[in-house]
């Protein structure tokens, strides 16, 4: 039994934590949260120089070729620090989609630029309220031209390229879906910044009007590639969520250890203790599920879809609980703009929605359980 990260991976995690605790305080987060810039350019540049972007990108495409366990420990630290950089859009989604379905030529074209930090990518799926399904996908990709409208595209204002889930034929269900890679600075692309609950991760509406685009994967494979990429991204995001939960628990604990009420530290009241104990329990369960996801990701295990859904649901629940109860533990001061509680509260919900809502993932999870029982 060796269900833990190696000493080297733990060392990488410690280095990442130390670096981010210095270079990415909540002051850094607030500069983006309260400002108009989509991300922190200095931080983005520095983590690119350390090679984080290319952690799981093979060396032949300019990456470090380390692996997914290494990427997961970095993700945990980015989540802990609420790092305001387009890392998840670029690395967990865009790069993963290229690695999963790109031609050799596409890999050569995009991956080295991702690894070096030059290219920001994103993945556009939703077109309106409700679940993203093959049926809800109306954006058309035919004859190399993309037309339609995508909403809530994370890092959409800053991305250079987007992968877009679209419809390539009138065939029903997933057979009619395809993916397109589009240059967001090209003709026929319009972008509008959208207001979001978490302005430390900016969102955009992107409208395509006959924009030139190249296919990623074959027509008819759009949905299956998307599902596969979302599964992988869900595991890495789960590590961000676990990191975020840890931060909330630490913050709540610190406050409970210094705030007095009725002549006692509030941390000595069972109402507070039990809340914090529950945060701890949920976070440890989520961490263990995320570990299993990391194992599945690093070995390309058959269990990956189930592991991903479990990691996703568990981590979303843990971060939601930890962030709202952190605010509650702080009382009134926790509801002020100046205190950081709301940064986590907003990030937890944003992360919980950006790859699809919990309900969607729970349904996937049970579908996977049905499949594994049938096997």
Q: Is 374 in the site for another protein (CB under 8 A)?
A: no
DSSP SS3 for 121? strand
CA atoms of 344 and 350, how far apart (whole Å): 10
CA atoms of 103 and 359, how far apart (whole Å): 34
Q: Answer for the pair 120, 158: CB distance below 8 angstroms, yes or no.
A: yes
Question: Based on CB atoms, which residue is closest to another protein, 2 or 36?
Answer: 2
In the list 63, 79, 267, 305, the residue contacting another protein (rule: CB under 8 A) is: 267
Nearest distance from residue 203's CB to another protein, in Å?
27
Q: Is 3 in the site for another protein (CB under 8 A)?
A: yes
Question: Based on CB atoms, which residue is closest to another protein, 34 or 363?
Answer: 363
Q: Is 276 in the site for another protein (CB under 8 A)?
A: yes
Tokens of 33: 């949260």
DSSP SS3 for 254? helix
Q: Is 357 in the site for another protein (CB under 8 A)?
A: no
Tokens of 97: 């989609």
Tokens of 329: 């533990």
Which among 27-35, 153-161, 291-299, 333-341 is the span making contact with another protein, rule CB under 8 A?
A: 291-299
Chain centroid offset of residue 268 CA: 36
Degrees (nearest 5) of the Cα angle 123, 126, 132?
110
Q: Is 200 in the site for another protein (CB under 8 A)?
A: no
In the list 95, 166, 215, 310, the residue contacting another protein (rule: CB under 8 A) is: 310
In the list 274, 331, 333, 337, the residue contacting another protein (rule: CB under 8 A) is: 274
Q: Is 10 in the site for another protein (CB under 8 A)?
A: no
Degrees (nearest 5) of the Cα angle 125, 146, 56?
50
Nearest distance from residue 109's CB to another protein, in Å?
32
In the list 71, 73, 165, 272, the residue contacting another protein (rule: CB under 8 A) is: 272
Which run of H or of E encompasses 329? helix 304-330
Nearest distance from residue 306's CB to another protein, in Å?
9
CA atoms of 179 and 124, how far apart (whole Å): 10
Q: Is 365 in the site for another protein (CB under 8 A)?
A: yes
Question: Based on CB atoms, which residue is closest to another protein, 5 or 123?
Answer: 5
Q: Is 373 in the site for another protein (CB under 8 A)?
A: yes
Which among 79-87, 240-248, 289-297, 325-333 is the span making contact with another protein, rule CB under 8 A?
A: 289-297
CA atoms of 3 and 370, how far apart (whole Å): 26
Nearest distance from residue 351's CB to another protein, in Å?
16
Degrees (nearest 5) of the Cα angle 157, 159, 161?
130
Q: Is 268 in the site for another protein (CB under 8 A)?
A: yes
Dihedral sign computed on CA atoms, order 133, 154, 194, 184: negative
Q: Answer for the pair 32, 39: CB distance below 8 angstroms, yes or no.
A: yes
CA atoms of 136 and 147, how far apart (whole Å): 15
DSSP SS3 for 270? helix
Q: Is 227 in the site for another protein (CB under 8 A)?
A: no
In the shown chain, the binding pattern of residues 50 to 89 toward another protein, with x for contact by CB under 8 A and - for none, equals -------------------x--------------------
In the shown chain, the binding pattern of residues 90 to 109 toward another protein, with x for contact by CB under 8 A and - for none, equals --------------------
In degrees rounded to 5, what are phi and psi of residue 339?
A: -85, 145
Q: Is 119 in the site for another protein (CB under 8 A)?
A: no
Q: Answer for the pair 343, 30: CB distance below 8 angstroms, yes or no.
A: yes
Q: Which residue ranges make up the site for another protein (CB under 8 A)?
A: 1-6, 69, 249, 253, 256-257, 264-265, 267-270, 272-274, 276-278, 280-281, 284-289, 291-292, 294-295, 298, 309-310, 313-314, 317, 359, 361-363, 365-366, 369-370, 373
């Amino acid at each position: 039994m060796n269900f833990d990260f190696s000493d080297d991976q733990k060392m990488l995690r410690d280095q990442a934590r130390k670096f981010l605790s210095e270079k990415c305080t909540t002051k850094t987060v607030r500069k983006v949260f309260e400002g108009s810039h989509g991300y922190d350019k200095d931080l983005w540049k520095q983590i690119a120089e350390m090679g984080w972007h290319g952690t799981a990108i093979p060396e032949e495409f300019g990456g470090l070729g380390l692996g997914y366990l290494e990427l997961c420990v970095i993700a945990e630290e980015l989540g802990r620090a609420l790092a305001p950089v387009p890392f998840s859009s670029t690395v967990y989604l865009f790069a993963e989609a290229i690695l999963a379905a790109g031609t050799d030529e596409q890999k050569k074209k995009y991956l080295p630029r991702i690894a070096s930090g030059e290219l920001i990518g994103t993945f556009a799926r939703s077109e309106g309220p409700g679940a993203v399904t093959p049926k809800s996908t109306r954006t058309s990709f035919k004859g190399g031209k993309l037309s339609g409208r995508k909403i809530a595209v994370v890092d959409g204002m800053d991305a250079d390229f987007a992968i877009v889930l679209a419809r390539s034929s009138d065939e029903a269900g997933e057979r009619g879906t395809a993916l397109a890679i589009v240059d967001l600075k090209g003709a026929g692309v319009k972008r509008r910044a959208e207001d979001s609950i978490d302005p430390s991760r900016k969102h955009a509406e992107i409208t395509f009007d006959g924009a030139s685009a190249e296919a990623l994967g074959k027509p008819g494979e759009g949905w299956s590639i998307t599902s596969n990429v979302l599964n992988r991204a869900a595991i890495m995001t789960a590590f961000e969520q676990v990191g975020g939960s840890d931060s909330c628990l630490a913050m709540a604990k610190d406050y409970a250890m210094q705030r007095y009420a009725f002549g006692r530290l509030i941390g000595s009241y069972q109402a507070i203790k039990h809340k914090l104990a529950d945060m701890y329990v949920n976070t440890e369960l989520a961490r263990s599920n995320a570990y299993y996801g990391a194992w599945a990701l690093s070995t390309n295990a058959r269990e990956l879809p189930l592991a991903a859904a479990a990691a996703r649901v568990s981590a979303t629940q843990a971060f939601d609980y930890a962030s709202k109860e952190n605010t509650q533990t702080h009382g009134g001061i926790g509801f002020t703009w100046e205190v950081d509680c709301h940064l986590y509260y907003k990030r937890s919900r944003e992360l919980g929605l950006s790859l699809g809502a919990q309900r969607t993932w729970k349904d996937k999870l049970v579908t996977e359980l049905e499949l594994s029982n049938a096997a």
